[in-house]
Amino acid sequence: MPLAEKKLIQQIRRSARGGKSVVIGIGDDCAVLRVPPGHELLVTTDFTLEKVHFRRDWHRPELVGRRCLTRGLSDIAAMGGEPRAAFLSLAVPSDVPQKWVRRFLKGLLDLAAEFKLPLAGGDTAQSAGGGGIQADIVVVGSVPKGKAVLRSGAKAGEGIYVTGELGGSAAELARLAEATPVGAESLRHIWRFSGQSRPQARVAAGQWLRQHRVASAMIDLSDGLSTDLEHICKESHVGAEIEAEAIPRAQAGPGKKRVALELALHGGDDYELLFTSAAVVPSHIAGARVTRIGHTTPSAGMRLIGPDGKKRPLHAGGWEHFKGDS
């Protein structure tokens, strides 16, 4: 292993914290994890790729690191689970300054500290030129046996709810894109976030919803409301009706204007929770505002109810939807 990699691993080892679930962390061939009796493991893995998910000239390295871990945490949150340990595999081309990597790690480890989540291992390699920076985050969590909240648990006639506000990340990316002369092609998959937004995985809210048996089905909003709602509908064999006016829209930009409905409907990277429930749902859960935006239906498909009460078909737009508009 080249010296630079050894040094980097030493650095990571020094700054990574332990945790009650980690028996053996960084330094051996495998990490050894402990989970409470009666729990099942949750495992999620997510890529963060340069030029696919972020641009070095648009996004601060700390924020890229933070987003990288947020994606994993948010998946654990969406199952109602408790994050136990994270693993980071990192491939960096030789022309990337060490400083970039240090700042990326700082963003990631600062967020890990907020959640008291240990970084228990990973892999480090130099990637061949042209590939850009590639990071894969694995988050291991746990949940009491049989209690994970699935996408498939929704029934017809339940309320549909979201935490927080939607469209903020999408609005910020749209602004960045306007300010930067790039072709629509390069905008396709780029995350819609800027240096200002600080994503917050809704781990505590997800756990509350599971513990109190309030959520029948749940998913985190990473690709956009319309796309992620469709996942719940398909897995649960239900349809959905969403009231346009009810969708909580983020305020963004210098004037703190409410973002466009399209961005709240189809924008990605919000990392809020979307869930269905037949129960009484509080207006705030674990510090997150909760809004009812519609209900599930026995007939398949998604419909958007406008302010005039008219229904029109709603299709999964996600980030695919407005890639051509930029």
Instruction: Name the site residues for Mg ion (rule: CB under 5 A).
Output: 123
**Interface with ligand ADP includes 88 (CB under 6 A)?**
yes
Q: Hey, what are 196's tokens?
A: 């200002």
Whether 171 contacts 267, CB under 8 Å: yes
Is 157 a binding residue for ligand ADP by CB under 6 A? The answer is no
CB atoms within 10 A of CB 289: 13
Q: Please name every residue paired with 42 in a beta bridge, in sequence order, or none if there are none.
A: 141
**Distance between CA atoms of residues 105 and 65, nearest Å:** 6
User: In this chain, which of 121, 141, 167, 199 binds ligand ADP, going by CB under 6 A?
Assistant: 121
- How many angstroms separate the CA atoms of 124 and 111, rounded? 20
**Which CB sits closer to ligand ADP, 24 or 261?**
24
* Complex with ligand ADP: residue 99 or 310, whichever CB lies closer: 99
C-alpha angle 273/324/321, rounded to 5°?
A: 30
The site partner of 65 among ligand ADP, Mg ion, none (C-beta below 5 to 8 Å per kind) is none
Kindly indicate which of the ranges 25-33, 51-59, 60-68, 156-164 contains the residues binding ligand ADP, using the contact rule CB under 6 A: 25-33
Report phi then psi at 144, rounded to 5. -55, 140
Closest contact distance (angstroms) between CB of 82 and ligand ADP is 21
Residue 125 CB, nearest approach to Mg ion (Å): 8
| List 21, 44, 74, 124, residue binding ligand ADP (CB under 6 A) | 124
Query: Taking Cα atoms as reference points, which of 67, 65, 132 lies closest to residue 104?
Result: 65
Q: How far is CA 272 from the centre of its chain?
A: 8
Stretch of residues binding ligand ADP (CB under 6 A), selected from 24-32, 194-202, 239-247, 307-315: 24-32
Residues 199-258 that bind ligand ADP (CB under 6 A): none
Q: Per rule CB under 6 A, is residue 119 in the interface with ligand ADP?
A: yes
| 133 lines the binding site for ligand ADP (CB under 6 A) | no
Question: At its nearest, how many Å lie between ligand ADP and the CB of residue 79?
Answer: 24
Give the nearest distance from C-beta 119 to ligand ADP in angstroms. Answer: 5
Around Cβ 24, how many Cβ atoms within 10 Å?
Answer: 15
CA distance 78 to 217: 9
Site string for ligand ADP, 161-190 (x = CB under 6 A): ------------------------------
Contact between 48 and ligand ADP by CB under 6 A: the answer reads no
β-strand partners of 88: 122, 137
Binding flag, residue 14, ligand ADP (CB under 6 A):
no
CA-CA distance, 303 to 293, in Å (whole number)? 12
Query: Contact between 137 and ligand ADP (CB under 6 A)?
Result: no
Count of alpha carbons within 13 Å of 177, Cβ hemisphere only?
A: 23
Tokens of 286: 């674990």
Name the site residues for ligand ADP (rule: CB under 6 A).
1, 9, 12, 26-29, 88, 90, 119, 121-124
